[in-house]
Amino acid sequence: MKRNIFRTCVLGLGLLSLASCDDPMDELTSLIYDRVFSPIDFEARSITENSVKLQWVKSEGADTYTIEIFADDSLTFEGEPVQTITDITEAQIPYTVSNLVYDTKYSARIMAIDADDADRNSKWHGVYFRTAAQQIFNNIPESSISDRSVTVTWPAGEEVTRITVTDANTGAIVINKDLTAEEIAEGKAVVNGLTPETSYTIKLYNNDKERGSKSFKTIIDLNGATTVSPDEDFGALLEAATDGQVFALYGGTYTIAGENGGAGNAQIKKNITIKGIYPTNLPTIKGRFQLDDGASLSLNQIILDGADNESTDQAFNYKTEGATYDVLDVQNCEIKNFGKGLIYLNVASTINKVTFNNCLIHNIECDGGDFFDSRKGRINETNLTNSTIYASATARDFIRMDDASESMGGGTPIINIKNCTIDGVANASSKRLLYVRYVGNVINWENNLVTNTEAMFSNQSKTSVPTFKNNIYFNTPNLKSIVEKGNLFTDDSATWDVDPKYQDTANGDFTVTNEDVSSKGVGDPRWL
């Protein structure tokens, strides 16, 4: 129904008849037509590489709608439209526009149409969108990624012109490569000049239009590294290692042979590094490590599994009396299924630094020892960061550091526990997360999510009050209690009794589904 406003002009507003009162007044009516309202809430949705769904609220009085599409445009609507669609009915809302070009800026505008009077058509109402880029890159297999190059493929003969590679951490374009006619015809290119152990995004273009994008990470630096396959005797290679040697392991299982057919002990006497080559196919080492003579050990992208060990001893056991060890550096690893604990120092020796970062550590039973266990020596700096520890030390202490200050010449052990998810650890009311008795210790406890434990913080007078910051606790009754449970201190800055609602703990998935928890950025970042 058209909305016509009839106005009768009487005195001073139009033409009047000045006949006598007996004469009827001439009916002079001026018709003013209202314009149909422009469609509101005009939006571009469900954008693909070649289509867009346009949504709007119907206009009262509109018979149909007209849409114009402008390419390479940002709401200027200059030039001629590449598509004009007419006679769109109310029943067709939302309307899908097809036959668009990938990775292109478009402006769309809509007009509500009065079929009887074009003068009543609405004004134009516009929206901007960009079609999605294409994805014609094939998946990049591990075998196509090296330490300094990557090989990428796409359907042969496609219209493409260049490749860019962007550092995923900095956002900087590090490679801008024009493709040769041979590469285009074959659908394959090798990109060199990359940096080892770096995450990249590679994109394929036809001039300025994106036709493919993939992310990858270069493997470890193989320059000077000893590459090892699962069919080699890895234990023998470790025994014969030279100082500073780097072992690069392909995916598979490496068993350090024991004396009775099971997994045994790798004795480390040199400063060595063991790395997995591919971040998506981590090698599994079955066995444990004994460190002697001040050796240092670095692990990266390794699964260390103690399930088949002939001994229940700790994953890392320090044995040489009076030695000074430099570092134990464990990055991006999974450590599981050890009987007595994770690390054991029961000799009068010094370890300068122990670091576990971005690790999954679980099912460390601690039957006969504590999780981190320093009895007679000193660890100058202990770092447990960005990691998840669960189902471990069910009836033992989490961090144990006995007082050896007199025999070790004093010192100030520093313990940093930051950005960790700790679940079901030291789960007994008499046990402690911090059983630290070394005189003068410094403890930093920050951004941790601690759940499902009956442990207290500490009942030892020598345990320094930690620097607490931004921690969350759930189902941890004795961490909050103080005197009545023997707990010497609590975390006054914490958020208490908020359930993170983990996704699937039975299968090791600690994804936080409670947004009130995840929004605080607390715990292992991989689950947030």
Q: Collect all residues with Cβ–Cβ distance below 8 Å to 205 and sequence separation of at least 6.
A: 160, 161, 162, 163, 164, 211
For 32, list phi and psi in degrees, rounded to 5: -115, 120
pLDDT in tens, 75-115: 999 999 999 999 999 999 999 999 999 999 999 999 999 99
- Which residues pair with residue 167 across a beta bridge? 200
Tokens of 15: 């033409």
DSSP state of 80: -
Query: Strand, helix or coil at 179?
Result: coil
Q: Is it true that 1-40+59-128 and 142-217 share their CATH fold?
A: yes
Of 238, 339, 218, whose CA–CA distance to 285 is shortest?
238
Annotate 337-362 with DSSP letters as a single string: EESS-SEEE-SS-EEEEEEEES-EEE
Residue where the block lists tokens 């066995």 = 287
Q: What is the pLDDT of residue 267?
A: 95
CATH T-level topology, domain 142-217: Immunoglobulin-like (2.60.40)
The angle at the Cα of 32, spanning 27 to 34, to the nearest 5 degrees, equals 145
Annotate 124-160 with DSSP letters as a single string: PEEEEEEPPPP--PPP--GGGB-SS-EEEE--TT---
Of 312, 356, 310, whose CA–CA distance to 335 is shortest?
356
Query: Strand, helix or coil at 296?
Result: coil
Mean pLDDT, the chain, integer:
92
- CATH architecture of the region 1-40+59-128: Sandwich (2.60)
Annotate 455-474 with DSSP letters as a single string: -BS---TTSPPPEEES-EEE
Measured torsion, CA atoms of residues 297, 300, 305, 311, in degrees rounded to the nearest 10: 0
Tokens of 134: 């294409």
pLDDT in tens, 209-268: 999 999 999 999 999 999 999 999 999 999 999 999 999 999 999 999 999 999 999 999
Tokens of 169: 């951490």
Domain ranges of the chain: 1-40+59-128, 142-217, 312-527
Measured torsion, CA atoms of residues 339, 345, 351, 356, in degrees rounded to the nearest 10: 20
pTM to 2 decimal places? 0.79
Tokens of 223: 């320059």
Q: What is the pLDDT of residue 35?
A: 84
Low-confidence ranges of the chain (pLDDT < 50): 1-32
